[in-house]
């Protein structure tokens, strides 16, 4: 009873709904493992782990300097799932990711779930560009048609 009374007093001081505050406190209490048993009260009673909103979180693998794609809302059937421009991650604060668009410098702050890692896509496009513009190609001039006949020849 002490814990419920204390939660209700804190809710009143913060001008919050006491019923919602008590529900949140009970969810936290029931999902926290006991130090002696190592399992939560809910798990001891129901013989399965509690399903909470926090139980489905995943750690992101983003690092500062990563190239990412930003998810966009679907406007019509031709809209792609991600914006067609790359962003570079410049700040990470928990699950909040700040990224700057490569093309025009526009900055976005979104949850990590709205980004997709694109380092491999960027690396592949860089490799393709470097292969097509090697030093040997520049010395030999434009590529020659090796099929034998040019235009107008039969």
- Full-model pTM: 0.50
| Interval 116-136 mean pLDDT | 75
pLDDT at 120: 81
pLDDT at 145: 46
Give the chain's domains with CATH numbers: 2-56 (no CATH), 67-134 (2.30.30)
Percent of residues, the chain, with pLDDT higher than 90: 30
The vertex-79 CA angle with 73 and 85, nearest 5°, equals 80
Could you tell me the two tokens for 106? 């526009």
CA end-to-end distance (rounded Å), the chain: 97
Which residue is listed with tokens 């059937």? Answer: 77
> pLDDT tens across 94-116, in order?
889 999 999 999 999 999 989 99
pLDDT at 15: 87
| 64, 91 contact by CB (below 8 A) | yes
pLDDT at 124: 77
Which residue is listed with tokens 């969810």? Answer: 27
């Amino acid at each position: 009873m002490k814990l419920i009374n204390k939660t209700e007093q804190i809710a009143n001081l913060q001008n919050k709904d006491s019923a919602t505050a008590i529900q949140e406190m009970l969810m936290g209490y029931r999902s926290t493992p006991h130090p002696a048993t190592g399992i939560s009260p809910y798990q001891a009673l129901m013989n399965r782990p509690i399903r909470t909103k926090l139980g489905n979180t995943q750690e992101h693998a983003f690092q500062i300097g990563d190239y990412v794609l930003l998810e966009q809302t679907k406007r019509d059937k031709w809209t792609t799932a991600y914006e067609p421009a790359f962003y570079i991650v410049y700040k990470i604060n928990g699950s909040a990711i700040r990224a700057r668009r490569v093309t025009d410098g526009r900055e976005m702050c979104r949850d990590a779930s709205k980004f997709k890692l694109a380092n491999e896509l960027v690396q592949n496009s860089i490799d393709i560009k470097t292969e097509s513009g090697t030093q040997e190609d520049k010395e030999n001039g434009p590529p020659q048609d090796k099929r034998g006949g040019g235009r107008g020849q039969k």
